[in-house]
Structure 1
């Protein structure tokens, strides 16, 4: 099937079925051309019947049949052109020839077929025009206009009735194919943009999830440790309030210091999170492309301003003030590390001490740090819980996320994390971090 490209409407969606036309307007156009061609061929059939000596009704019927074939120009343009060439000796079907050649050139038929049929039509028209021009010159009885007149006029008629419709059809066909190509390209680009938008949404959702996880981990590290120490000091305060007022005052001061430190860290964290919202108008949506960058920036800012390995000594001192027996052992020479390595090392020790406060109150704790050439190792090991102090730890709730958070931090930096109970009834947390990670 060959078409001239009018089988779809402007929206690119297939319309209601109108045989091979697709649209009512196209069908009405071809039917109208078929009626005009049939009327033209029927009129010319009268002259053909008189010249050929056949009945008038037969000539008119032949003209009607041949002319009405123009209705098929979109479905079978080759058939229309072949019929037009076949009836050219009968001197009928001018509209059929012109419109048929145009439809053939505008369709998707191979170019060699178009060239062959156009050449055949040109030759047939040239022969018929030559004969008719010579008859007209002889019928006028005028002087001989010259041997060049008849062939030149026949050539003009043949070229004028063949070349323009073919060129116009080629132009319309090329333009139609170009529009279809542009439409397909636009559809392809729209699909690609939709796919990119979906991927951007997935990346944004992943970034939001990662940022929520990071924030939850930071909140857990800050709140769990500080509040655990505050609960331990509050229990001690309650125990010595009547017996030793001076110690109770010191414990109360420690509780206040712990609370202020926790509030300070929370304010700093919230300040980082709100920094990106200050320049955005209230109620404005967050651009998807900015979510990942904001998450990365917040993580980097938190790492730069976070705790360091040097703060582990203060951390151990706070646990000692809470009544825990803690020993700190440092091997190797301390040196600067990337911010995320320092913060992760600190958080591992902090969370391990917090777990001792919660689950092994009164147990002795050993904190080891080892500065090596390409890595830093840390280990927090506690003995069996002291029965006398187990009551405090039992009052501290646990969400079960501490070890998970430590593992995520260490593995995220390409390190090794191991935790588990010891043979003596205690618990050990060990981690090794590569120190070559850039900040």
Structure 2
């Protein structure tokens, strides 16, 4: 009948130096019960010594030793019950028997042992009660009860001394086991909740990282191309201004238009990041952005529906031609619609590849190929060697363009290949399966 470690620590009463006791309160209770039991047995030992002819001190010593066994009830409840059964004929140890049966029933002792010892105690108490009552009735000649009196009273006495402590002990033991089970479940649930909270935090951090990466990729795709064209046009404007003022004016107008479009796109993106609401960026580079959370999912959905399409690739190539790049566009296969996310990704791959040509291969001849293949669409952007006669525009590179393209394509289950060609140029190839078919 011991409390759990959690209760002991909560109560601040945990001790480890008192043999099998774990709380001072348990020590005080058991020692007090043992003293009372020893005193009871010592008093009853006087009568036992008179009935058996033993010396009174010996009877008292026997009672003290027998009653003090109750101090072991938490450690060896079976031994306490056996001693109480052994002292039953001497009519001593009633308190020891009651407390011992209660402790035995409440402990983790196998039930068959509890049943056997309870039966032995019941039989022993019944026999002793019957014998003592019969002797009392026979000794009192004036008292003449019926034949039913002695057995009935003996049964009631034996049941009264045996059944209540056993039943109460069973109840306390069952309640203790239930409380321990509930406590274990609560601890397990708390651990699971803590684990779920950690996992949720990890997933949230992963989602934030993914969203930051997506936002950075979208801003790079939308702004880098247009700004690159602005730089190229500005360089061309600087070169032709002294020779052809009319062309310089047209180039200046193009630079102004592209700058305004770039500023509009940046303003839309920054507004989305501040408000967390999805927004659509106008022009061929429309891209919705959203903050981390529910707005991110909404923005992603808008990005898929309102992003650029494959039929806008011709306009994209035309912008590069206006900037002075020699670009050839060829389309193979029958045009057909694909899933929005596939068309948007294909557009971004072509856009980023052309931007890289502006940055790293100024004046190079470039070929853009689109191939519609039923359940998939393929694209390839290949440029020749840079024209040494054309001045480098000096565009900076963040080194994330190819990485972003690869992430987009592989994320849709496609194939992405990039690398230099034997002619000194560079080739970017990608194949995307139709998301609807997949």
Q: TM-score, normalised by structure 2?
A: 0.92
Q: Name the structure 2 match of 1:79.
A: 79
Which stretch of the first structure deviates more once superposed, 173-182 or 242-251?
A: 242-251
Q: Name the structure 1 match of 2:374.
A: 373
Q: Name the structure 2 match of 1:250.
A: 250
State the SS of the aligned residue for 1:38. Answer: helix
Q: Is the 8 A contact 2:418 2:427 kept in 1?
A: yes
Q: Evaluate the alpha carbon distance shift between residue 7 and residue 234 of structure 1 in structure 2; reply closer, same or farther with a 3 A threshold.
A: closer
* Distance in 1 separating the partners of 2:304 and 2:417: 23
State the SS of the aligned residue for 1:391. Answer: coil
Q: Is the 8 A contact 1:419 1:427 kept in 2?
A: yes
**Count of aligned pairs:** 423
Q: Name the structure 2 match of 1:431.
A: 430
* Distance in 2 separating the partners of 1:234 and 1:139: 133
* Distance in 2 separating the partners of 1:210 and 1:177: 48
State the SS of the aligned residue for 1:211. Answer: helix
Q: Evaluate the alpha carbon distance shift between residue 294 and residue 31 of structure 1 in structure 2; reply closer, same or farther with a 3 A threshold.
A: farther
Q: Is the 8 A contact 1:6 1:26 kept in 2?
A: no
Q: Is the 8 A contact 1:356 1:363 kept in 2?
A: yes
Q: Is the 8 A contact 2:8 2:14 kept in 1?
A: no
Q: Deviation at 1:187?
A: 0.8
Q: Evaluate the alpha carbon distance shift between residue 76 and residue 11 of structure 1 in structure 2; reply closer, same or farther with a 3 A threshold.
A: closer
Which stretch of the first structure deviates more once superposed, 101-110 or 133-142?
A: 133-142
Q: Name the structure 2 match of 1:39.
A: 39
Residues 159-209 of structure 1: per-residue CA shift (max 9 Å, x gap): 000001000000000000000001111111111111111111121122112
* Distance in 1 separating the partners of 2:373 and 2:123: 96
* Distance in 2 separating the partners of 1:161 and 1:226: 98
* Equivalence map 1:302-313=2 (5 Å): 302-313=303-314
Q: Evaluate the alpha carbon distance shift between residue 160 and residue 347 of structure 1 in structure 2; reply closer, same or farther with a 3 A threshold.
A: same
Q: Is the 8 A contact 2:73 2:100 kept in 1?
A: yes
1:102 aligns with 2:99: no
* Distance in 1 separating the partners of 2:270 and 2:300: 12
1:10 aligns with 2:7: yes
Residues 109-135 of structure 1: per-residue CA shift (max 9 Å, x gap): 111100000000000000111111122
* Equivalence map 1:5-154=2 (5 Å): 5-8=2-5, 10=7, 15-17=14-16, 18-154=18-154
* Distance in 1 separating the partners of 2:24 and 2:324: 93
Q: Is the 8 A contact 2:359 2:396 kept in 1?
A: yes
* Equivalence map 1:331-346=2 (5 Å): 331-346=332-347
Q: Deviation at 1:55?
A: 1.1
* Distance in 1 separating the partners of 2:4 and 2:211: 53
Residues 392-433 of structure 1: per-residue CA shift (max 9 Å, x gap): 2xx111111111111111111111111111222111111111
State the SS of the aligned residue for 2:7. Answer: coil
* Equivalence map 1:290-369=2 (5 Å): 293-369=294-370
Which stretch of the first structure deviates more once superposed, 251-260 or 102-111?
A: 251-260
Q: Calculate the aligned-residue CA RMSD, in Å.
A: 2.0
Q: Is the 8 A contact 2:277 2:299 kept in 1?
A: no
Q: Deviation at 1:293?
A: 5.0
* Distance in 1 separating the partners of 2:277 and 2:349: 31
Which stretch of the first structure deviates more once superposed, 56-65 or 350-359?
A: 56-65
Gaps of 5+ in 2: 279-290
* Distance in 1 separating the partners of 2:276 and 2:175: 51
Higher relative contact order (Cα pairs below 8 Å, separated by 6+ residues): 1
Gaps of 5+ in 1: 279-289
Q: Evaluate the alpha carbon distance shift between residue 81 and residue 29 of structure 1 in structure 2; reply closer, same or farther with a 3 A threshold.
A: same
